[in-house]
Structure 1
């Protein structure tokens, strides 16, 4: 038994890891020896950033940690952006890397891939970063990583192994079974007080975040018993099911929902950081809460960030939602559905100028692929979809427009989602600018025979930044960029591609998509806008 073989054996047998993402290099050849005879699927992206985004998409779609094997130095600086995105959205990701020999660490000798301190570089984008100096400590360090994933606010964990340890021999030791970790339950006194406040409330409001993704039944039960309008953030889409009568969607930054928030006398916020990319996407600090705020979160520090809390419970979201619902055996009646409906009418999302062109876009996706996981980059359809889309289940809509807000996320994250949920269709929503960051991952999609539909919204550059420049009186620079011929590029990768310019063309492309290979659908944004305008006229 060697350190490398023990690592892969632990991942497969103890932690049920079935897929890893990585690009082998001279420093990780010995690590890859551990894959010999393993049932773990190895997926080779074309860039380490792509590996991180694939692991992120895999984790969001499945709820299980995404795992990466990454080379020393440049491999780690390449994946740091993906780790930052996962950290911002509390996504479980295990990044295992090589590092230079123990006797050379920190000596500045100009070794291959050498950094002054790789561990210090990565600690800022991870829950913790650990340098393994004793191979016998590997089981304990891995257990710590999965304790983060299972028992507290998750995020990326980085473990680096010096290259002289991969082949280090280990005595065969029978390992005990993994511990079963249970997340904290709410304090009974605090729970009772929260229930009392909610029972007495005249105008309650519920805010559900991504921390509720694994507790949809408990969330639905509680909001229905409270009869309270509910904001579901982008990462909480689907928690209440599609078009639930109490669901306000991810519209907390819009005036009608803001008014509801100001007028609410008691607000219950569960598994949400109350950050600006969910509640203040117009960036004016205008989302304010007028009543008592009850917060439930695994992270005690998060309870006191962003909004003034009145009562905080450090506890698991799902367990707390279920226990809180027991305090309301009979549903309350406070016209929650009516208040929600009135607010949605005031929002008038279907006719809002920024959203209207995408109403038929998402209607077409829902009609053709109703069960699809929609994975987005920062692009116009995604900005609109954050407000318009309603999904039947959680973990079926996520993107990089929130939190860290990196470009290039959509395509590789969609591939990770497809690998994790092979029975569901997956659609990547990307722009002609953002997709260029990771366009090389088309090769991975073809190589792995992944039937992902890649919808490229082609609007000739960085449209969102153009609008910001125009709004602030800044002369346009660097935003009117040239895109390649995506049809030719896709063909070069061996990927089928089509151009569409209206909803009918999109529907036809989706209906005829291959089931064992990717499809690139290029949408001419200007022609689409014209077609929609003509239909409205």
Structure 2
């Protein structure tokens, strides 16, 4: 192919390859087919979901496991409205995602002439769910715009970026443009003064406490060492699970809305919070105000995040790993003698005493998953098992447990997110926890997983309702309208889509189905019906 004939669409995929992109999720349409012309000349794999929202959720799961942006090719108009919800979930949870779409030709933009897939402004549509959205008016802009996007992913708070390319620009000549990735700026380091002040506050504390959020995922070793040096208990948010290894004596369980955790925050004389918003979705089922017993040190890559929400004594705008590494050095020799493990044990005992009955059932379920599939990546939906598991689950490592009960809170997320996670970490088992209601939002993605040969265990908790909402309505004496739903034959449906499927009647059958799932090259759908002998055995 002559350089003079290379189009912008062909150039785009070569440029993506130079930035390390290995996978694209997309559904080709008449407006995006030119983005596909150059794909065979790259090493990039393409996966075809059955809905653009599924594409976004797959990209999200891939990004959470790998730390690299999930990339999507999306058709104009309805493709963008479909993926907007997935972008919202990624935006809320700080997940890197690159959405590349077409848009009508430059001379047709905003004309309202009734063109195919026309919207008044796609950029306005996604303004609230993206770090930025850019209309590429000339192919020569692409190297700069792509560098800007990857700077967001690499060096600041990672969130979705949208680049739309007019139809006439996609086919314009771009063979003269450089295909090398531009050097990206380093992540922000903390100032020496801030680290020195943080070190002074922490060394003076008698009852320090650490809160580790999703932004701390890559600082696991540093935070563990700081916790051990200070003898400080560590609370890991849902997206921060795995920062401390399972069974660590300083690890706290529960959620920040529980009285034992609120009491511990109030009794602590210095709190170090790394990469967390202190969001209300960490306080199930009801948000409560925080009271801190001492100075609060917050480390976050996003300076604006440090100015909103929970006010702090010492804001440190920096990358979590760089800042905690510097703080670890500044703290000097250790470990300190203290009562951190005893405090964690006492708080955990109080949390345990306050857990509701469903937690027992789903603890037994997760114990089986963990025992049968060690090192599994677990992606969850908004469903009873997930809300229960959030209270006690200890992930094997960071970037191993995530779900849509946090942030934006979307149904249907868990299934495609688990598939994306498996593609990002093919050597690890993947498990989806989802309810019958949430599954019906995205069940069609089983077909895309069969086509892409993705092995994952899909555990359906089937209570034939939107169970969490039904209980919420009942607690408030609201008529339970619209929450008891028809559910299909999931086993027959899964098999018709090419999946393996099981309806286990015992714990042994459940273990066998889970154990078989990673040995296959298609999803294994495992249905557990509420009230069944298996469900009762798990609750026993």
Deviation at 1:510, TM superposition (A): 1.0
Deviation at 1:29, TM superposition (A): 1.2
Quickly say closer, same or farther: Cα 1:243–1:450, change in 2 above 3 A: same
Deviation at 1:206, TM superposition (A): 0.6
CA contact (8 A) 2:15 2:179 kept: no
CA contact (8 A) 2:140 2:177 kept: no
CA contact (8 A) 2:11 2:175 kept: no
Question: Which residue is equivalent to 1:520?
Answer: 525
Quickly say closer, same or farther: Cα 1:109–1:206, change in 2 above 3 A: same
Quickly say closer, same or farther: Cα 1:344–1:438, change in 2 above 3 A: same
Taking the aligned partners of 2:350 and 2:70, their CA distance within structure 1 comes to 41
| Residues 339-378 of structure 1 aligned to structure 2 (within 5 Å) | 339-348=343-352, 352-378=356-382
Secondary structure in 1 aligned to 2:492?
helix
Question: Which residue is equivalent to 2:308?
Answer: 305
Quick one: which of 107, 112, 136 aligns to 1:108? 112
Question: Which residue is equivalent to 2:46?
Answer: 42
CA contact (8 A) 2:53 2:82 kept: yes
Taking the aligned partners of 1:180 and 1:135, their CA distance within structure 2 comes to 21
Quick one: which of 255, 262, 265 aligns to 2:266? 262
Taking the aligned partners of 1:305 and 1:288, their CA distance within structure 2 comes to 16
Quickly say closer, same or farther: Cα 1:138–1:180, change in 2 above 3 A: closer
Question: Which residue is equivalent to 2:14?
Answer: 9
Deviation at 1:349, TM superposition (A): 5.8
| Residues 22-421 of structure 1 aligned to structure 2 (within 5 Å) | 22-174=26-178, 178-249=182-253, 251-278=255-282, 280-328=283-331, 329-348=333-352, 352-421=356-425
Question: Which residue is equivalent to 2:511?
Answer: 507
TM-score, normalised by the number of residues in structure 2 = 0.96
Taking the aligned partners of 1:111 and 1:2, their CA distance within structure 2 comes to 23
Bigger drift between 508-517 and 46-55 goes to 508-517
Deviation at 1:122, TM superposition (A): 0.9
Give ranges in structure 2 of 5+ residues lacking alignment: 1-5
Taking the aligned partners of 1:53 and 1:251, their CA distance within structure 2 comes to 25
CA contact (8 A) 1:490 1:497 kept: yes
Deviation at 1:19, TM superposition (A): 0.3
Taking the aligned partners of 1:487 and 1:176, their CA distance within structure 2 comes to 48
Secondary structure in 2 aligned to 1:405?
coil
Deviation at 1:171, TM superposition (A): 4.5
CA contact (8 A) 2:22 2:45 kept: yes
Taking the aligned partners of 1:512 and 1:274, their CA distance within structure 2 comes to 39
Deviation at 1:504, TM superposition (A): 2.7
Deviation at 1:286, TM superposition (A): 3.6
TM-score, normalised by the number of residues in structure 1 = 0.97
Quickly say closer, same or farther: Cα 1:86–1:351, change in 2 above 3 A: closer
CA contact (8 A) 1:3 1:166 kept: yes
Secondary structure in 1 aligned to 2:454?
coil
Give ranges in structure 1 of 5+ residues lacking alignment: none
Secondary structure in 1 aligned to 2:29?
coil
Deviation at 1:449, TM superposition (A): 1.1
Q: Is 1:531 aligned to 2:537, yes or no?
A: yes
Cα deviation per residue 1:168-203 (whole Å; 9 max; x = unaligned)?
012524456521421111111111111111111111
Deviation at 1:317, TM superposition (A): 0.5
Quickly say closer, same or farther: Cα 1:161–1:335, change in 2 above 3 A: same
Taking the aligned partners of 1:311 and 1:411, their CA distance within structure 2 comes to 40
Bigger drift between 414-423 and 249-258 goes to 249-258
CA contact (8 A) 2:297 2:313 kept: yes
Cα deviation per residue 1:454-495 (whole Å; 9 max; x = unaligned)?
111101110100111001110110000010000111111011
Taking the aligned partners of 1:470 and 1:170, their CA distance within structure 2 comes to 61
CA contact (8 A) 2:77 2:119 kept: yes
Question: Which residue is equivalent to 2:3?
Answer: none
Secondary structure in 1 aligned to 2:36?
helix
Cα deviation per residue 1:491-525 (whole Å; 9 max; x = unaligned)?
11011111024433311211233422211000012
Secondary structure in 2 aligned to 1:433?
helix
Taking the aligned partners of 1:444 and 1:177, their CA distance within structure 2 comes to 31
Taking the aligned partners of 1:522 and 1:28, their CA distance within structure 2 comes to 38
Quickly say closer, same or farther: Cα 1:403–1:282, change in 2 above 3 A: same
CA contact (8 A) 2:362 2:538 kept: no
Moved over 3 A (4+): 173-177, 349-352
Taking the aligned partners of 1:496 and 1:510, their CA distance within structure 2 comes to 11
Bigger drift between 500-509 and 352-361 goes to 500-509
- Aligned residue pairs, count: 532
Bigger drift between 339-348 and 157-166 goes to 339-348
Bigger drift between 388-397 and 143-152 goes to 388-397
CA contact (8 A) 1:500 1:522 kept: yes
Cα deviation per residue 1:116-171 (whole Å; 9 max; x = unaligned)?
11111111110000000011010100000000000100100000000111110125
